[in-house]
Structure 1
Amino acid sequence: MTKNQQGFTLLELMISLAIGLLVVSAATAIFLSAQRSLGFQLGMGDVQQNSNFGLAMLTHDLRHANLNTPSNQKINNKIVGSGLIFAQENYPSSLHAGLADIAYSTQNFADDATTGKSDQIVIQFIPQYQIAEAFDLDPEDETQKINERLVSNTDMFDCEGNSIEFTTAKDDEDTQAVRPTMVQRYFVQKLPTSQQGSDGLDRYGLYCDSGYYSAGDSTITGLGTNAQLLMQHIDAFKFLLGVKNPQNNQLRYLTMDEYTDLMSSITEEKNYLQVISLQVSVVARSAANIGADASLNHKTITLPGSTTAIVFDGDASLNKKYLRQLVTQVVGLRNTLGAS
């Protein structure tokens, strides 16, 4: 005896197909949303890692400013040896004739990825060293005293990765120990062609350039020849000066131009406005764009010391496809003793 075969009715089949399509659609939407979210998070992680790592290196270097210099632990635009270099007055006179713009801290120094310009910071310091006791040929005769012998810290490197070397006086030679003064500048410039994208937006980075001079030199050796990249995809770089007022000991932050304008009318050394800290800011950009999520990127960025939001160069809709973050850090200049 044959049994009747039973199957899905047309209505049941249509309902099951509809349910299946809903499940597949929901799963696809969840997958695409997770994929976009991952891209968004990777972009933000890239921005944060790049900016935080680079700023850590930068602030470590900046804390060396004014170390062992003949500035009496003051930083201003009128004293020789000032750890932050504003003008030729901060250098020994032997260097004045050969100085160029790259040798000074400057507001609005160079083009960046915005419609404005980025700043440049230039510092100087003498690396830490130890002085061994001078060797006396005749303790009673100062003319017979050998110059000091210098023992250097061989583990010190400049921001380009070069070992910092000293010329050391010997016990049995009447030679002078030479302590180089390191000069390091931090600035934004366009990345090499190999690191540029294909979308037409220029990529910039934060660079460090190092040089040095010794007593009597007429030039700063190495400055401007071999700058090294500290941070990729930096759209802007700005700094403010933390300035202590000697009249009331109050601290305020000024742009470079504001500071030099105020100092131009101050003639008495006791009234000089001493710089005791720096506030550095970078605008970091993600390496890759976030594509379809560009509509979510409505962030506007205003730099410290400014009242207007940044406007980026290039197509506005394309710029929105990149994540950007403003990262700011205050660096206390430890070699100023509070500018007391």
Structure 2
Amino acid sequence: MKYKNNLHARKGFTLLELIVAIAIGLIIAAAAMQLFIGGFLTSRMQEANAELQNSGIFGLDYMTRDIRLANFGNTRPDLNDQTPLGGIILTARDAVDTNTNITFPSSAPFISKGLLSHSKGNQEDVSGVKNEWQGLSNVNQTSDQLTIQFVAPNEMVNCEGNNVQEGDYVIQRYFLRQDPADASSGNNFALACDANTPTASGVTPVANPSTISGFGDAGQVIMPRVDHFVVQLGVRDSNNRLAYYSINQYRAEASKARAKTPAVVPPRIVAVKIAVLVRSMDDTKNQNIDLSKTISVLNQDITLKDTSTLYARRVYSTTVALRNGLGVPK
């Protein structure tokens, strides 16, 4: 019996075809990886922007609601650094000076200077006492501090979450501190609010107390991850011209006005402008972020201290008209 040899030659890919196939596969894989990385970075940026909006927009809105109450309950609508119980607190009574915004207590211990409104300059040195104004900032400028006072127009909750009766005295201070409050180092700062202890429920509220209790602690966080906090005072002079000063600039202008012969009434404080530089929680890894770029915050040109971590950052600002300080003095 004869068998027919039916073997067929089998042909595979040539070396050139294999190289081309591998190259095409690598290109497709690289494109897919690029899409994945791009989507990941986009997701990180979107998440960071959402954090910034939650912190900046809602935090400022919360602050402005209370700042609008500044000077409520005071019979003097003309606000300056000597207005008794004036809504913007620049001065406090001590053993020598009695023409001040805080008119009590009448004897020591007095309210610490580190708890008043401040900005750096004009011989205003930061406090060395924990939780007082220390100018903490993650930029090349010190942060400011704003302190306000008013009488509660109705039952409300102060910035520390405590219930306040209608007609009770309220003092609140906005400043940057370490987050958490017990941290002794690091650059994780938060905008916090410190308030006095309200009159206990069932006890008649006091609009003009003789002392302040519970004021000067770490307060409660309003905005986390704040790198810088700036305050400007909107003032109107006798010619009805409006200008904005930093807190220390206004102090200097008020002193200059009183030093004239004859003495001139200092410009009236009619508005407060505030701005915050907030950052994201995590490093976005986005190489498009330029950390060396100058950032403008209320006419301050600032630069970041941290030039390695690619946090997303944004400036939020608002202006609050002091409705209780716009009237004509009697």
**TM-score over 0.5 for the alignment?**
yes
1:55 shift after superposition? 0.9
* Mapping for residues 148-167 of structure 1, pairs under 5 Å: 153-154=154-155, 156-165=156-165
Are 1:284 and 1:326, in contact at CA under 8 Å, matched by a contact in 2?
Answer: yes
* Mapping for residues 186-197 of structure 1, pairs under 5 Å: 186-192=174-180
1:5 shift after superposition? 4.4
Distance 1:57 1:215 in 2: 23
* Mapping for residues 251-266 of structure 1, pairs under 5 Å: 251-266=242-257
- Say whether 1:83 aligns with 2:87: yes
Distance 2:293 2:66 in 1: 31
- Say whether 1:240 aligns with 2:211: no
Distance 1:278 1:216 in 2: 24
Partner residue in 2 for 1:139: none
Task: Name the aligned partner's letter for residue 302 of structure 1.
Answer: S
* Mapping for residues 164-203 of structure 1, pairs under 5 Å: 164-165=164-165, 179-192=167-180, 201-203=186-188
> Number of residue pairs matched?
293
* Mapping for residues 65-214 of structure 1, pairs under 5 Å: 65-71=70-76, 73-88=77-92, 89-95=100-106, 97=108, 98-108=110-120, 109-110=133-134, 111-128=136-153, 153-154=154-155, 156-165=156-165, 179-192=167-180, 201-211=186-196, 214=206
Q: Percent identity?
A: 28
Distance 1:126 1:36 in 2: 49
Partner residue in 1 for 2:283: 289
1:287 shift after superposition? 0.9
Which segment is superposed worse, 34-43 or 74-83? 34-43
1:56 shift after superposition? 1.0
* Mapping for residues 23-34 of structure 1, pairs under 5 Å: 23-34=28-39
Distance 1:206 1:30 in 2: 38
- Say whether 1:230 aligns with 2:222: yes
Are 2:192 and 2:221, in contact at CA under 8 Å, matched by a contact in 1?
Answer: yes
Counterpart secondary structure, 1:46: helix
1:48 shift after superposition? 2.6
1:93 shift after superposition? 4.5
1:298 shift after superposition? 4.7
**Structure 1 runs of 4+ with >6 Å offset:** 193-196
Using structure 2 for the length normalisation, give the TM-score.
0.79
Structure 2: 5+ residue stretches without partners? 1-5, 93-99, 121-132, 200-205
Q: CA, structure 1 residues 296+77, in 2 after alignment: closer, same or farther (shift >3 Å)?
A: closer
Counterpart secondary structure, 1:24: helix
RMSD: 2.8
Q: CA, structure 1 residues 29+269, in 2 after alignment: closer, same or farther (shift >3 Å)?
A: same
Counterpart secondary structure, 2:34: helix
Partner residue in 2 for 1:300: 294
Partner residue in 1 for 2:22: 17
1:44 shift after superposition? 2.7
Are 1:281 and 1:328, in contact at CA under 8 Å, matched by a contact in 2?
Answer: yes
Are 1:63 and 1:333, in contact at CA under 8 Å, matched by a contact in 2?
Answer: yes
1:20 shift after superposition? 1.6
Distance 1:78 1:264 in 2: 11
Alignment deviations for residues 155-207 of structure 1 (CA, whole Å, 9 cap, x no partner)? x11111111035xxxxxxxxxxxx322111101011117989xxx95100000
1:293 shift after superposition? 2.4
Are 1:277 and 1:332, in contact at CA under 8 Å, matched by a contact in 2?
Answer: yes
